[in-house]
Amino acid sequence: MMNPFSSLGLGSELVSALTDQGYENPTPIQAAAIPKALAGHDLLAAAQTGTGKTAAFMLPSLERLKRYATSSTSPAMHPVRMLVLTSTRELADQIDQNVQAYIKNLPLRHTVLFGGVNMDKQTADLRAGCEIVVATVGRLLDHVKQKNINLNKVEIVVLDEADRMLDMGFIDDIRKIMQILPKQRQTLLFSATFSPPIRKLAQDFMHTPEMVEVAAQNTTNANVEQHIIAVDALKKRNLLERLIVDLHMNQVIVFCKTKQSVDQVTRDLVRRNIAAQSIHGDKSQQSRLETLNAFKEGTLRVLVATDVAARGLDIAELPFVINYELPTQPEDYVHRIGRTGRAGADGVAISLMDKTEQKM
Ligand code: AMP
């Protein structure tokens, strides 16, 4: 029987890398997007994190770029051919790790650019040459200004989480980047929603894009069991500890609304001898990456996070998410509980609701 990814038009180098990753069947967004992108069309795709969207844009692009694969060490043989723009450092890092896994059988080079860390290593990588660059918008523009990167040979550009990037105020920067890219190129835009500004962006920078839409917008994943517990605000701490211990949660993300409560909840858990660490916007990039790695490796039991810090977090088989405080935005709720139940696995999301949170 033919491998389902081969049937979509992907070559053996990618298919065997996917088999090594344990991917057996394409997700709906992959099945819909891969053939269209392989044919060279621009794509407007509606997909949230957790649907397999990264592979949906990376796999056809890598297939199209594989004719450039070369083991030559000359930087001139490795110009930037593909640019992936995304919203946060964590997501950029995540996409880059996926790229690394997918290209294991292809001599193509990749690198990731994000802010908050020194530019030297990134600059050295760019000078050495690499076909695939995953970047956050601000840091990419820094490299453009310093002439560390040449975008003249870009053939494929991806705008990942386009709605998020616009929410974060990157519209002018995105336009700036799009303007310096070659006109002759393929543009793939992925977004959870298609607001008027996204449509305008598509109109201005895309050529008769094909639409790809799979899941309904802003809906939660059916694999995630959702519970809500009404509780006194003062009793949340005890309840949190009881849930973690009694339900034998060995890996759980606890979401809070503010940095202050993140710190407080973390201190409280540690005092109760539960291994917990926090990530939020005030932490250094280095400290965030270390905490995330400890959590991914399973040496850290509880990760306490704000919504922004947890954007793009991708942990395979994370069984539990707890909303210690409810988010004000429905999209944030969807995003939070989407950290569990990834790629068809089961997950449990528990929300602790006090009186003041009922209307949310
Ligand atoms: P994404 O929506 O791109 O963040 O992907 C969510 C998760 O699903 C990642 O951990 C991927 O490695 C995984 N994944 C993507 N496609 C597949 C597939 N076809 N089969 C199994 N896992 C997948």
Q: State the Cα–Cα distance between residues 342 and 222, nearest whole angstrom.
A: 11
Q: Using a 6 Å cutoff on CB, does residue 338 contact ligand 1?
A: no
pLDDT at 314: 72
Amino acid of residue 66: K
| Ligand 1: residue whose CA is nearest its atom 6 | 50
pTM over 0.85: no
| Ligand 1: residue whose CA is nearest its atom 14 | 52
| Ligand 1: residue whose CA is nearest its atom 1 | 52
pLDDT at 269: 96
Measured in Å, residue 93 CA sits from the centre of ligand 1 at: 15
Q: What tokens appear for 205 in the block? A: 């920078």
pLDDT at 285: 79
pLDDT at 217: 47
Q: State the Cα–Cα distance between residues 348 and 344, nearest whole angstrom.
A: 13
Measured in Å, residue 50 CA sits from the centre of ligand 1 at: 6
Phi, psi of 216 (to 5 degrees): -60, 150
pLDDT at 109: 97
Q: What tokens appear for 277 in the block? A: 């660490």
169, burial (CB in 10 Å: exposed 0-12, middle 13-18, buried 19+): exposed
| Ligand 1: residue whose CA is nearest its atom 20 | 23
Distance of alpha carbon 346 from the chain centroid: 20
Measured in Å, residue 51 CA sits from the centre of ligand 1 at: 7
Q: From first to last of the 360 residues of the chain, give the pLDDT tens digit.
A: 799 999 999 999 999 999 999 999 999 999 999 999 999 999 999 887 778 999 999 999 999 999 999 999 999 999 999 999 999 998 999 999 999 999 999 999 999 999 999 999 999 999 999 999 999 999 999 999 999 999 999 999 999 999 989 988 999 999 999 999 999 999 999 998 888 889 999 999 999 999 998 755 456 666 788 899 999 999 999 999 999 999 999 999 999 999 999 999 999 999 999 999 998 878 787 888 888 889 888 899 999 999 877 766 777 778 899 999 999 888 788 888 888 876 667 789 999 999 999 888
Q: Using a 6 Å cutoff on CB, does residue 342 contact ligand 1?
A: yes
**Is 258 within 8 Å of 306 (Cβ atoms)?**
yes
Domains defined for the chain, CATH in brackets? 6-213 (3.40.50.300), 224-357 (3.40.50.300)
pLDDT at 136: 97
Q: Quick one: which atom of ligand 1 is closest to the CA of 49?
A: 2
Q: Using a 6 Å cutoff on CB, does residue 55 contact ligand 1?
A: yes
